[in-house]
A and B are shown apart, each in its own frame.
Chain A
Amino acid sequence: MPSSTGTSVIGVPTLASRKLSYPIERGRLKNGLRVVVLPDRTSPVVAVAVYYDVGMRSEPEGRTGFAHLFEHLMFQGSANLKKTDHFSYVQGAGGVLNGSTHVDYTNYYEVLPSTATELALFLEADRMRSVALTQENLENQVAVVQNEIRVNVQNRPYGGFPWLQIPPVLFESFANTHDGYGSFVDLEAATLEDAQSFFDRYYAPANAVLTVAGDVDPDQVMTWVEEQFGDIPKRAVTSPPAFTEPELTEERRAVVHDPLAPAPAVAMAWRTPNPKALAAYLPHVVLAEVLTDGDSARLQDRLLLKDRIATSVSGYLGIMGDPLDARDPTPMMLEVHHAPEVAADTVISAVDEELSRLATDGLGQDEVDRTVARMTSRYLRDIDPVLGRATHAAVFEQQRGKAELLNDLPGLLAKVTAAQVRKAAGTLGTDNRAVLELRPGGAA
């Protein structure tokens, strides 16, 4: 039996169960701030998220890691708040909070009892108004970020593999290739002037999207937003530059050595179509799952169950693993961990055979449908929390002007056809990809 094309005996759930209808309301302040409100009165909680259109790709040369460092600085004090105030207000209201830096955006968010909605808006407005920077806090946060890099990269087996290590193999430009966590030298070179000009340029109201999801009245939210954010002066913003690069015309390979890793791994990456053109892009998103989601997926079946040459297989779009939160160019990634006695080329050949088989023989619509069923289920689980809805709506509004994709995504995924997935598989060639091998131990 060609196992990976097996059909289900228990029936695929109907698509009707996946129709979403979260209400979405939006507004825009005179200073350019975009606002999206997603009311849902079923639980007394609220999520507030602010997405700034600045990320690792915005960093200037000599300042690798600066977008992330600056994210830390946004918690160090602002127009009316001292260092640690932001945390104590949110947590003292019974809430949780964080921020994160991605290739094309930096976000800040809190989830709280809905009795604290106005407070959360005040806190976000305060640091959009101005950031309070001191040399002492800058140096402190450089040290904190260096420890973040130590714990997540330097003292961790497979740290930074492949997300920090494969971009320089796949891409050319500084924007697309540099280490977004940053070099220690660059981090230590950062100045207060750098931070102020970064804030002035990128943290303008017109460069941000604010979303509020949960137990709120949209009209009340818009009134509060006007009160808290309305008098932040408008500043000019420029559209994000295009980071697009020419396609690869030959395979590129590189090797990294990891002294902490006990076993080797290999990562492969290809360019994908521009994520902005969703209809052409989604078949590639589905393809990654057809290849790697669960034991019935093509590569799991081949590498883990049949050939037994791998320990784990994963595949995804986007350098940081979210297919729908980055602009062009963005890669399709495969990552395989394998035993030391298996050669990397054995793994790569098996992957190539499966990709070629998929591109040549295609697949049944039932295989696509069941893949989409689980993708949909995972997506629904992501957006059940108010924070999941706030963050998805924010990034969709920021990068596509379309928070409504929150509701529309399951329907769009359900339209992906087997022919489209097969065609997408045909783009994963051996001569247009980057291959990065990780070898355990120090460099020879």
Chain B
Amino acid sequence: MTRTAPALAKAKPVRLPAVADTVLDNGLRVLAVRRPGVPLAEVRLRIPFAAPAKGTATHVARAHLLADTFLSGTEQRDANQIAVDLQAVGATFGVNVDSDRLAFGGSVLLDGLGGLLELLGELLTSATFPKREVEGERDRLVQELAIHRSSAGVVAREALFARLYGSHPYAQDLPASDDVQGIRPKQLRALHAARVVPAGSILTIVGDLTPARATAVIQKALADWTAVGTDVPVPEAPPQSGRPALLVDRPGAVQTTMRFGGAAPRRTDEDFAATSLANLVFGGYFSSRWVSNIREDKGYTYSPSSGIDHPLGGSRFVAGADVATDVTAPALLETLYELGRIATVPVKQEELDRARRYAIGTLALGTATQAGLAGTLSQLAASGLSIDWLREYPRQLNAVTVEDVLAAGARWLAPTVLTPVLVGDSATVAASLRGLVELETQ
């Protein structure tokens, strides 16, 4: 008996929670949302942490070690006491840094929120960076970087960013080991004093508690955080025009790690919705052309995917696939074909509609949890957007036409505006790649 797929039920109106948006006396912006669910609170604090125009390498190294040693001591507690206290309130809480911000984030049992914020207040005002802990973490960071860089994906990412961004700070998002080696505690204390400041920082709290209560708890715990520092803006990322492909040798590699990078519109740009849909149709989800082609038709790869991310200095398109070494050139050929197709041939209406429904539906899925909502709000706020964007963006998606997707594809996804980086066994793949693209080697 033939059965047919049931139709979708009528879509429900989007209901967004109320966000209490407050700026405290010290300049810290607080976003608080009540979201019932499990008895946890999600906490995200982002502190602007862009590298200065000169001295990116030094800043990146110190910023990473700062993050790694932030929980190593305060005037009131030593490293062990901090670890014990975090565990006791059920906090999964960490510190990390990227090219834009220093971030504290995690979750905590709801009735441990006050204790966590009290500790956070201590860290922000009186982290001590003890000598012994700094030296230990410094050695560990060097070892972790070596492990990290043994991965082909990391090699490709670093090569791609260097190529895309040149002298812009985004060229480097991981420290060089040599720059980590010599760091001393007083340099971390100085970085803390200069940059860990409330003005411009955003704290987001989501959990089953009223925004008024959340804000009051924060006010009490972080009132003493009053440091003043210098604002270091993120410079605008350079425009991208596509550079020749770079092949990084990984002798004996059984796969070639392919990455394609370029610029993309910001969420606030007119053609962002259309570009997002062009990305989906090309390679941004499983039901895309690129996945159908090089995975489901030809079996060249396991996990091709493309996406747009949003560093503050300029949004970025990256596509990646790890392909079997012996089909590297054919996989590149198909990739260039699919990029060329999205840039020059109109998509089918049904392809557009499917991508649109996916974009709208997954937006709702992403905010259906406390953690998802907290992360989304925090990122939107950093880009100058509020929760209203979650209502506005589906409207923009609904208005996108086939012509809009073609224009966006031509502008942002054309093979000539992207820069390819390949990490693989040069001896096997270089010659055939040269038949397709201009190739530089490293």
Chain A residue numbers with a CB within 8 Å of B86 are: 294, 296, 374
Say whether B80 contacts A3, CB under 8 Å. yes
Contact A94 B357, CB 8 Å, known A79-B3, A118-B6: yes
Enumerate chain B residues within 8 angstroms of A301, measured Cβ to Cβ: 80
- Taking CB atoms, residues of chain A closer than 8 Å to B242 are none
Contact present for A13 and B111 (CB under 8 Å): yes
B300 to chain A, nearest CB (A): 7
Stretch at the interface among A140-148, A348-356, A428-436: A140-148
A365 shortest CB reach to chain B, Å: 12
Given A115-B10, A378-B92, A150 and B322 contact (CB-CB distance below 8 Å): yes
Contact between chains at B303 and A376 (CB < 8 Å): no
Q: Is B19 an interface residue (CB 8 A)?
A: no
User: Residue-by-residue, is A299-333 near B (CB-CB < 8 Å gives 1, otherwise 0)?
Assistant: 00100110010011000000000000000000000
Q: Does A279 contact B (CB under 8 A)?
A: no
A92 and B84 CA atoms in complex are apart in Å by 47
List the B side residues contacting A360 at CB < 8 Å. none
Q: Is A189 at the interface (CB under 8 A from chain B)? A: no
- B353-377 with Cβ < 8 A to chain A: 353-354, 357-358, 360-362, 364-365, 368-372
Q: A10-B118, A17-B110, A377-B107 are in contact. Are A305 and B287 (CB under 8 A)?
A: no
Question: Quick one: which of B139, B364, B368 has the most chain A CB within 10 A?
Answer: B368
| 0/1 interface trace, chain A 254-291, chain B, CB 8 Å (1 if under) | 00000111110000000000000000000000000000
Report the bound CA distance from A146 to B298 in whole Å: 13
**Shortest Cβ gap from A282 to chain B (Å):** 17
Contact B80 A94 (CB under 8 A): no
On whether the beta carbons of A113 and B37 are closer than 8 Å, the reply is no
Instruction: Give chain A residues whose Cβ lies under 8 Å from the Cβ of B151.
Output: 156-157
Q: Provide the bound-state CA to CA distance between A95 and B364, in Å.
A: 10
| A386 at the binding interface (Cβ < 8 Å) | yes
Q: Which of B6, B254, B324, B370 contacts A384 (CB 8 A)?
A: B370
Given contacts A7-B84, A10-B89, A304-B140, is CB(A155)–CB(B38) below 8 Å?
no
Report the Cα distance A112→B146, complex, angstroms. Answer: 40
B88 and A113: CB pair below 8 A?
no
State which of B38, B79, B144 has its C-beta within 8 Å of the C-beta of A383.
B38
0 or 1 for each of B292-329: is its CB under 8 Å from A? (1 = yes): 10011111111100000000000000000011100000
Provide the residues of chain B in CB contact with A53, threshold 8 Å. none
**Cβ-based interface call for B5 (8 A):** yes
Question: Is B81 within 8 A of A6, CB to CB?
Answer: yes
A123 at the binding interface (Cβ < 8 Å): yes
**How many A residues touch B, CB cutoff 8 Å?**
93
Q: Which of B40, B85, B287, B303 contacts A91 (CB 8 A)?
A: B287
**Also in contact, A113 and B80, with CB within 8 A (given A44-B12, A263-B143):** no
Q: Does B83 contact A (CB under 8 A)?
A: yes
A414 to chain B, nearest CB (A): 12
Nearest opposing residue in chain A for B116, CB measure: A10
> Which of B9, B150, B286, B369 sits near A260, CB closer than 8 Å?
B150
Given contact pairs A126-B3, A144-B295, A381-B38, A112 touches B361 in the complex (Cβ within 8 A): yes
Choose among A87, A144, A385 the residue that contacts B368 (Cβ–Cβ < 8 A).
A385
Q: Which residues of A contact B322 (CB under 8 A)?
A: 147, 150-151, 155
Determine whether the beta carbon of B115 is less than 8 Å from that of A384: no
Contacts of A146 in B (CB 8 A): 324
Given contacts A13-B90, A113-B11, A150-B324, contact A119 B6 (CB under 8 A): yes
Docked complex Cα distance between A183 and B39 (Å): 45
Q: Which 6 A-B pairs have the closest CB atoms?
A: A94-B361, A143-B299, A377-B90, A8-B88, A10-B115, A296-B83
Q: Could you show 18 A-B contacts with beta carbons less than 8 Å apart?
A: A6-B84, A13-B109, A42-B37, A80-B2, A92-B353, A93-B361, A95-B365, A119-B5, A144-B296, A145-B302, A147-B324, A151-B303, A263-B146, A311-B144, A369-B88, A374-B92, A381-B38, A385-B368
